[in-house]
Structure 1
Amino acid sequence: MLSLEIMPPLMFGGLVVFLLLGFPVAFSLSAVGLFFGFISIEMGFFTTAYLGNLPLRVFGILSNEVLLAIPFFTLMGAVLERCGLAEDLLEGTGQLFGKIPGGLAYAVVLVGAVLGAITGTVAASVIAMGMISLPVMMRYGYDMRIATGVIAASGTIAQLIPPSLVLIVLGDQLGKSVGDMYAGAIGPSILQVSLFLAFIGLVSLVSPQKVPPLPPEARMVRGWPLYWKVLKGMVPSLVLMFLVLGTIFLGLATPTEAGAMGAMGAILIAIVNGRFTFALLREAMANTGRITSMVLFILIGATVFSLVFQGVDGSRWIEHLLSHLPGGQTGFLIFVNVFVFFLAFFLDFFEIAFIVVPLLAPVAAKLDINLVWFGVLLCVNLQTSFMHPPFGFALFYLRGVAPKEVLTKDIYWGALPWLCLQLIIVGVVITFPQTVTYWIERGPGVDPSTVHIEVPMPDNSDDGAVPVFR
């Protein structure tokens, strides 16, 4: 005989089994949720009317204007990935910094930050920089592990720096303004870029032979022609960044509206550069459709699972489990970050955001943790999912475009120092919340596009239904 107390761990365990067996996440969530939902109705844990709330929740997802920002920003990144802007930025910046030790690595980090701020996608950054910079680094004697590590790590900056797709999803799941999430991510983004540059500087001082400068014959463009080449690639990027982020921070546009302007701006940049074709737009739109469909299916599946999970007191089970950890807030944050770090070995950031974050948010709120800071902290941690050997997606992207002479073990070993740097940033954000909250206080305030639909939970009425909350 099943009891209400064992339903939450059974649901969670069933989901883990499905995921370990390799079933698609979206369908695993829906299947587990519906299966335990029907069992709960049979056992009298809640009524059929409660499961009737599911259409309301699905409609709430499909009508949520905040989530419209995902296809807009994805389209913007897909167009920019194909229009050659990354090539212009990397070639010009590489020539500009090439005369100093580590110059190419500095250029990769800075261009990675710019690409992250205008595309918001890791794949576009890693693939572009891997195809352009890695052969040059190999040709002029860069240590293979330094070269592969800096390219993969710089691509992951797109996960944190606005307009990150992860921040949109986390803001929606935490019930917080996407504009505040973007504002809170500014400090950690600056910290991350600075730490990456400092690491390259340290390597250039300790082992300059690993990051040699470009020889004079390789620096073909100099003086004003070089500066013009850099400006030609940088100015459109800065204009697009202001169009997207500036309008959000000034309160002139919601993230959804800013994403639409960004997508249009990316198309205009492709036209101005003479690289726009309808084939390019068609490929970008197809890629956007695939990513957006994946996100929505996972979100609908997570909604099915979470509705049933809450109906069997799963939120109380999680709250009891996590709120009694030793150390209070600090103990909770350490446990959550270690848990998310290891979970990221097996799940991608969308899956973690939709499955785990809704379970953690109520506990964080009860412990009086600032949810925007908590969301940015999770975003910093989720970056590591792209750098974990052996499942890190950034490493897979780089392996896919790297020359055959680049060994997979060099890519994995090269990722480890940068993974440690990302974990240092996690520790800094936990220790110094001001790295996030300072920017929130100067952010855009309430995001008017945030839409949430409250779904009634079963109560302890005397209508013959079995009470759920005891």
Structure 2
Amino acid sequence: MDAALLGQLMAAGLFLLIILVLMTGYIVAFTLGGLAILVGFAGIAVGAFDQSLFAALPNRFWGVITNPVLVAVPLFVFMGVVLERSGIAESLLTTMGQLFGSLRGGLALSVVLVGALLAAATGVVGATVVTMGLLSLPAMMRAGYDPKLATGTICAAGTLGQIIPPSTVLIFLADILQGANSAAQLSLGNFAPDTVSVGDLFAGAILPSLVLVAAFILYIVWKAIFHPETCPPVAMTPAEKAGLGLRIVGALIPPLLLIVSVLGSIVTGVATPTESASVGAVGALFLAAVKLFADAYLGAEGDPKRDIRLFWFWLVAIAVLGATAFAFGAAGLLNTMLGLLAVALIVILARGDLRRSYLQTLFYSSKSTMSITSMVFIILLGATAFALVFTQLGGSAMVQGFLENMPGGQFGALFVVFFIIFILGFFLDTFEIIFIVIPITAPVLLIMGVDPIWLGVMIGLLLQTSFLTPPFGFSLFYLRGVAPRTITTPMIYRGVIPFIVIQLLALAVLWIFPDLATWLPNELFRSDAPGTEGAPPPPPSFDEGGGEDEFL
């Protein structure tokens, strides 16, 4: 048998074998890297794989570890974990629940809004789902909510961290699409292609994520109007109503301050995503210090005097931070945050109880960040070995031929890839899908003329469903772990189905209106860039059948 054909068969067998082994629950990184190396040695034995390529594997590993773009990942993870452990997320959830709880569906609305805010401030799905499950689910059950609506809302709102910047999923997607786009454009004869940066995908995801949040809210409003018995209002006590406005301001300012500092610096071009991640990490430490300081010196939770003092404190802090950011950019903002953090730490460390609390928060946040980051990067190293072996066995050429010969041209190829990702989301984690499927399929789709920013946002939105789809959706597991025994697993599964349908409808809207993903990054980063006129064309809408001749 011809060595090239044999290599392609081995590449297809490697892909299927990895999917099967992953479904058994074996360690992802060892599955990807181990099976790839074993199949590579088998390819050497039959003459389908060049053994010298294995010598390049350490350099590839080193390139992954030293990639400056990926430095943002542990910083954003650390930022999210600090906010969760410091109690800022809990305060926000409690206060927003009091704000909307008196409305039918108000608690569910507060969960969605808080989920969106925490996603933009943290991007940590597991911590968000667990926090809302511990705090909101009991309150919703006491209020008489339908368990399916309550659990579905919490799971769906918790997964918004997958698509709302600063999402670690978008960071990895941007890194993969950057390389894929460069290779695709070079193969098409474009030797000065536009780059695909993390900032592009962050900007591209903003409008689609807002559409998704609005769709969740509209569904809850529809339930409140036509099925009011599923989401009754909550009676507010006089103590909860007193000073609610000031508490709302005090609870909203910390996450909003972090969102503006991080995303604002990226969108305005003041800082790169990695630089803004450092601002976010320092900002989270500062907010945690302020939370401890307020608990110790400004009064207890619910004390009106505390609310007034916090209001004036944040008013002054915003004025100082805004002035330094305007005058000196991201560097001035970071230095000011460091200075305020130093002052807060001096006050905190003077008291033994506060010192222990802050150091415990720092220790557990660092430990959790190390665990999450190590898990993701070891999977990435295994995926690097898989990509090398799969590509050199001829798998990429096989995939390219398969997609280019799909009926419907570009539309058919996109539909098949998206369908495969959706099905794999029932069984595999988000990062597993990213590192296995995207490096294989993205270069082919980009050669066929798909806009890389639109493709990245579409994939990010689709991958979000992997956290919701039974039977292995991670958000379902997170909520199952903290839900009371009266909430059964089938209830959780049935509860997320409407939100999965909403996400699929949001994908259809983004497919029909691709400008939702491409307009903002083009306005911010590419309107004056040279060579914009040579950028890839936008993706097709449903009424464009396409054909192979279009892409030749």
State the TM-score, normalized to the length of structure 1: 0.91
Q: In 2 relative to 1, CA 118–216 (structure 1 residues): closer, same or farther, beyond 3 Å?
A: closer
Any conservation in 2 of the 1:117–1:158 contact (CA below 8 Å)? yes
457, 464, 468: which one pairs with 1:387?
468
Cα deviation, residue 443, structure 1? 3.3
Count residues in correspondence. 444
User: Is 1:121 paired with 2:124?
Assistant: yes
**1:156-175 to 2 correspondences below 5 Å:** 156-175=159-178
For 1:257, the equivalent position in structure 2 comes to 275
Q: In the alignment, is the contact (CA less than 8 A) between 1:78 and 1:287 conserved in 2? A: yes
In the alignment, what sits opposite 2:4?
Answer: 4
1:397 aligns with 2:486: no
Q: How far is the alpha carbon of 1:444 from its aligned partner?
A: 4.2
Aligned partner of residue 397 in structure 1, secondary structure:
helix
Pairwise CA distance, 1:44: 2.9
Q: What pairs up with 1:136-215 in 2 under 5 angstroms? A: 136-175=139-178, 176-215=196-235
How far, CA to CA, are the matches of 1:43 and 1:387 in structure 2?
43
**For residues 490 and 25 of structure 2, what CA distance do their matches in structure 1 show?**
25
Tell me the amino acid that sits aligned with residue 221 of structure 1. Answer: E
5+ long unaligned stretches in structure 2:
179-195, 296-356, 528-552
| Greater displacement, 35-44 / 226-235 | 35-44
Instruction: Show the counterpart of 1:76.
Output: 79
Q: Does structure 1 conserve the Cα–Cα contact (< 8 Å) formed by 2:23 and 2:428?
A: no
- The yes-or-no answer on 1:221 pairing with 2:240 is yes
Whether the aligned pair in 2 keeps the contact of 1:248 and 1:444 (CA below 8 Å) is no
Unaligned stretches of 5+ residues in structure 1: 447-470
The question of whether the paired residues in 1 share the 8 Å contact of 2:162 and 2:168 is answered with: yes
Structure 2 counterparts to residues 320-339 of structure 1, below 5 A:
320-339=401-420
Partner of 1:459 in structure 2? none
C-alpha root-mean-square deviation of aligned residues, in Å? 1.6
Residues 110 and 36 from structure 1, CA distance in 2 versus in 1: closer, same or farther, beyond 3 angstroms?
Answer: same
Structure 2 distance, partners of 1:187, 1:95, is 28
The one-letter amino acid paired with 1:193 is V
Q: 1:238 aligns with which of 256, 259, 264?
A: 256
> Quick one: which amino acid aligns to residue 292 of structure 1?
T
Distance in 1 (CA, whole Å) between partners of 2:141 and 2:52 is 64
- Amino acid of the structure 1 residue aligned with 2:380: L
Letter in 2 for 1:222: K
Cα distance in 2 for residues equivalent to 1:33 and 1:399: 34
Identical-residue share of aligned pairs (%): 44
2:335 aligned residue: none
Cα offset for 1:46?
4.2
Contact 1:29 1:305 (8 Å CA) reproduced? yes
- Counterpart CA distance in 2 for 1:431 and 1:322 is 21
Correspondence for 1:98: 101
Whether the 8 Å contact between 2:430 and 2:466 is mirrored in structure 1 is: yes
Residues 1:365 and 2:446 are matched in the alignment: yes
Instruction: Give the aligned partner of residue 348 of structure 1.
Output: 429
Deviation at 1:2, TM superposition (A): 7.4
Pair 1:433 & 2:433 matched: no
How big is each residue's C-alpha offset from its partner over 1:79-119, in whole Å with a ceiling of 9 and x where there is no partner? 11111111211111111112211111111110000000011
CA distance in 2: counterparts of 1:74 and 1:445, whole angstroms: 29
Task: Return the alpha-carbon distance in structure 1 between the equivalents of residues 213 and 27 of structure 2.
Answer: 35
- Using the alignment, how far apart are the partners of 1:432 and 1:138 within structure 2? 39
Letter of the aligned partner of 2:400 in structure 1?
A: E
Cα distance, 1:82–1:331 mapped onto 2, change above 3 Å: same
Structure with the bigger RCO (C-alpha within 8 Å, sep 6+) is: 1
Deviations 1:127-173 (A, max 9, x none): 11111111111111111111111111100111110001100011111
Alpha-carbon contact 1:180-1:445 (below 8 Å) kept: no
Which aligned pairs between 1:282-293 and structure 2 lie closer than 5 A?
282-293=363-374
Q: Secondary structure at the match of 2:484?
A: coil
Counterpart of 2:348? Answer: none
Q: Distance in 2 between matches of 1:150 and 1:324?
A: 41
Post-superposition Cα deviations, 1:162-210, rounded to whole Å, max 9, x if no partner, equal: 0011000111111120000000001111101100110011011101121
Report 1:267-286 matches (<5 A).
267-274=285-292, 277-286=358-367
Q: Is the 8 A contact 1:168 1:178 kept in 2?
A: yes
